[in-house]
């Protein structure tokens, strides 16, 4: 990790009609950092990620991702980053290999280069025996690995992963995270949402969203200490419960 800031947003807000899904969110992430994005269902995490990825325009606020402006250069951002959406985004009737070639071409990579990268990724993620089966029939752990391969095919500097391990078993989650660590070691910045507190512990910093706002941000250790909690899970649950009861 170095000091270069590669994601920076200020007062990011998104309204859908009269409902404010994201309310004045400000944060910055450094190159090579693994940044965890936590919050209860509906807190606004996916909406923030979609704005950071250039897929959704904010109602107000500003920001830069990979050096590009989220308001005026969303197309540049889309090419510079990797994005794994919360919903399975691969073509179900195509095999893993066909998906990789399809997305590689969409990123403007030539067939030869795609072939080399597919080989390398298949080695790294142990995908070989699953590459030539239709992706819809694969167990979820393999599908998610395949989706990770697709999102890293063009060697993006920043990866946005929206609940990449939802529904994935613990052993798979462990190997998935060891790949994320390797990618970060190689200089990639990883912005990841999760509902699993063991995964939150693996992040250098985490932010916690509640009803569209960031209510905590810091290293896992700092937050546990600040709230005098026994562990991250207790801290998270107590914090959200307290907010809910304050609202009631
Ligand atoms: N296009 C939309 N139109 C209207 N409301 C929306 C839209 N997209 C999201 N919302 C609402 O905004 C809020 C935040 O949703 P979002 O998907 O960002 O939450 P999340 O933190 O990712 O939740 P989860 O953990 O369940 O994935 C929710 O109340 C959701 O219903
Ligand atoms: Mg979400």
> Ligand nearest 194 Cα, by number?
1
Indicate the domain borders of the chain: 5-247
Q: How far is the CA of 21 from the centre of ligand 1 (A)?
A: 7
Nearest ligand 1 atom to alpha carbon 39? 21
Q: What's CA 202's distance to the chain center, in Å?
A: 14
| Pocket residue to mutate for ligand 1, from 38, 42, 48, 86, most atoms within 8 A of Cβ | 42
Q: Consecutive 10-residue runs of the chain (248 residues): their mean pLDDT?
A: 91 98 97 96 96 96 97 95 88 95 94 96 90 91 93 95 93 92 95 96 96 97 96 94 86
Q: Which residues contact 233 (CB under 8 A, 6 or more apart)?
A: 197
Position 137 scores a pLDDT of 86
Instruction: Specify the 3-state DSSP secondary structure of 107.
Output: coil
Evaluate: CB of 138 within 6 angstroms of ligand 1: no
**Nearest 10 degrees: CA dihedral of 182, 187, 188, 190?**
80
Evaluate: CB of 45 within 6 angstroms of ligand 1: yes
Position 248 scores a pLDDT of 75
pTM: 0.95
Please identify which residue in the block is written with the tokens 């991250």.
Answer: 232
d(CA 118, CA 195): 30
d(CA 145, CA 151): 10
Position 109 scores a pLDDT of 95
Position 201 scores a pLDDT of 95
CB neighbours of residue 238 within 10 Å: 13
Position 144 scores a pLDDT of 92
Residue nearest (by alpha carbon) to ligand 1 atom 14: 44
| Pocket residue to mutate for ligand 1, from 12, 14, 15, 16, most atoms within 8 A of Cβ | 16
Q: Which residues contact 248 (CB under 8 A, 6 or more apart)?
A: none
Position 247 scores a pLDDT of 80
Nearest ligand 1 atom to alpha carbon 22? 14
DSSP assigned state of 187: T
Evaluate: CB of 39 within 6 angstroms of ligand 1: yes
Residue nearest (by alpha carbon) to ligand 1 atom 24: 41
d(CA 75, CA 77): 5
Q: How far is the CA of 41 from the centre of ligand 2 (A)?
A: 7
- Are residues 137 and 165 in contact, defined by beta-carbon separation less than 8 angstroms? no
d(CA 167, CA 189): 24
Evaluate: CB of 44 within 6 angstroms of ligand 1: yes
For domain 5-247, the CATH class is alpha beta
- Are residues 210 and 40 in contact, defined by beta-carbon separation less than 8 angstroms? yes
Position 206 scores a pLDDT of 97
d(CA 4, CA 11): 21
Evaluate: CB of 34 within 6 angstroms of ligand 1: no
> Ligand nearest 59 Cα, by number?
1
Structure tokens that stand for 161 in this block: 């992963």
Bridge partners (DSSP) listed for residue 62 = 10
Nearest to 103 by CA among 176, 154, 49: 154
Task: Please provide residue 217's backbone torsions phi and psi, each rounded to the nearest 5 degrees.
Answer: -155, 125
Nearest ligand 1 atom to alpha carbon 195? 25
């Amino acid at each position: 990790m170095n000091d270069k800031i590669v994601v920076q947003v200020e007062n990011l807000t998104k309204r859908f009609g009269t409902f404010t899904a994201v309310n004045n969110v400000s944060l910055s992430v450094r190159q090579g950092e693994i940044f965890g994005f936590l919050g209860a269902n509906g807190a606004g995490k996916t909406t923030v990620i979609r704005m950071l990825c250039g897929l959704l325009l904010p109602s107000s606020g500003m920001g830069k991702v990979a050096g590009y402006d989220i308001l005026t250069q969303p197309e540049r951002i889309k090419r510079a980053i990797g994005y794994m959406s919360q919903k399975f985004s691969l073509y179900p009737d195509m095999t893993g290999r066909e998906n990789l070639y399809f997305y590689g071409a969409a990123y403007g990579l030539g067939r030869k280069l795609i072939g080399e990268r597919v080989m390398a990724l298949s080695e790294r993620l142990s995908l070989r025996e699953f590459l030539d089966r239709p992706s819809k029939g694969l167990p979820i752990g393999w599908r998610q690995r395949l989706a990770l391969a697709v999102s890293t095919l063009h060697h993006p500097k920043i990866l946005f992963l929206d609940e990449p391990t939802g529904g994935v078993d613990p052993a798979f989650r462990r190997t998935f995270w060891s790949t994320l660590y390797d990618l970060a070691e190689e200089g990639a910045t990883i912005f990841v949402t999760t509902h699993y507190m063991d995964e939150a512990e693996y992040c250098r910093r985490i932010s916690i969203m509640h009803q569209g706002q960031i209510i905590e941000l810091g290293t896992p250790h700092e937050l546990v200490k600040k709230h005098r909690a026994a562990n991250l899970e207790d801290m998270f649950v107590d914090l959200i419960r307290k907010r809910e009861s304050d609202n009631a």
